[in-house]
Amino acid sequence: MREPERHAETGVRLLIVCPDRGGIVAAVSAFLFDRGANIVESAQHADPDDGTFFMRMEFDLDRLPGGRDGFERAFAGEVAERLGMRWRFDWGERKRVAVLVSRHDHCLLDLLWRWRRGELGADVVGVVSNHSDLRGDVEGFGVPYTHVPVPSGAKAAAEAELLEALEPGRPDFLILARYMQILSPGFLARVGVPIINIHHSFLPAFVGADPYRRALDRGVKIIGATAHYVTEDLDAGPIIEQDVARVSHRHGLRELERIGRDIERVVLARAVRWHVEDRVIVHGNKTFVFE
């Protein structure tokens, strides 16, 4: 007879945001200790500016008598409500991700390559594109590819089709791996999962289109890339990760793009790994990354 309520859990994560006050760590760690949890990793941050406390804990459990639901109910009743917490347990289920892409292949292939070698920590359930160029590459990895064109003037219909294309994969989050379409607020509301975008500049510099061209025109000595969560405000969502590289007057537009591609894929990979490992807490328009 199967006894799911007694199995062990590993890699459970608990994320907490609450008003800062004494006793938070003591209350949480006592709750976990009483249930036989072994804390593997713990990090916290108290923001002096607005008095908010953030915590991420990762722990193993030898047994789970009341099941996950019982565990969560007990945590709410014994700890969270009293301390005014916004909280979330992640029980270590492998996350599912769908990737949206246009024509640039570098971020997409890099993600698929990391996924294949087991480095991504999530399952790629599908790729959707407004172009058909990369179908062969994607299917070569054994990943379903759906072409959803976005004809001029027909964005609403295209977004409806996009939602349909995403549905069977039941993704836990989306990655825009250089998807060159702006998603409408309506789409964001209906898709209902976090979306990570890679922007090819060190935001907030060069918000919007053509950042490499504008970097060249401005004569900057450093270019960069930014991975951020998508919000209704274009390129203004919470920044997860950024990195940069030096350039000089010797580099033309194509060199900037080439150098930038290497930054983009590394920045995106880091942001995705942190998201997958529940290391990112969003608060206001900022992220707290417990890497």
Is residue 128 helix, strand or coil?
strand
Q: Is 83 in the site for its own copies (CB under 8 A)?
A: no
Residue 25 or 158: the one with the smaller Cβ distance to its own copies is 25
Among 11, 45, 83, 90, binds its own copies (CB under 8 A): 45
Measured between alpha carbons, how far is 214 from 209 in angstroms, rounded to an integer?
A: 9
Residue 241 contacts its own copies per CB under 8 A:
yes
Query: In the annotation, is 69 catalytic?
Result: no
Q: Pick the binder of its own copies from 6, 8, 19, 46 (CB under 8 A).
A: 46
Per CB under 8 A, does 177 bind its own copies? no
**Contact pick of 5, 9, 11, 39 for its own copies (by CB under 8 A):** 39
Does residue 210 belong to the site contacting its own copies (CB under 8 A)?
A: no
| Separation CA 79–CA 24 (nearest Å) | 9
**234 makes contact with its own copies (CB under 8 A):** no
* Host H or E run for residue 87: strand 86-90
Q: How far is CA 194 from CA 36, 179, 212, 228, 233, in A?
A: 32, 15, 27, 10, 14
Q: Among the options 34, 110, 123, 235, which is catalytic?
A: 235
Q: How far is the CB of 70 from its own copies (least distance, A)?
A: 20
Whether the Cβ atoms of residue 146 and residue 128 lie closer than 8 Å to each other: yes
Query: Across the strands, what pairs with 111?
Result: none
- Applying CB under 8 A, which part among 34-42, 88-96, 149-157, 164-172 lies near its own copies? 34-42
Distance of alpha carbon 191 from alpha carbon 237, whole angstroms: 17
Bridge-based pairing of strands 173-176 and 95-101 is: parallel
Smallest distance, its own copies to C-beta of residue 269, A: 8
Chosen residue from 179, 242, 272, 276 binding its own copies by CB under 8 A: 242
Contacts of residue 67, Cβ cutoff 8 Å, sequence gap at least 6: 4, 5
The answer to whether residue 74 forms part of the interface with its own copies (CB under 8 A) is: no
Dist. CA 255–CA 262, nearest whole Å: 11
Catalytic residues: 235
Which residues make up the interface to its own copies (CB under 8 A)?
21-27, 29-30, 32-33, 36-49, 54, 105-106, 109, 113, 117, 119, 140, 202-206, 218-222, 224, 238-244, 246, 248-250, 252, 258, 262, 266, 269, 285-289, 291
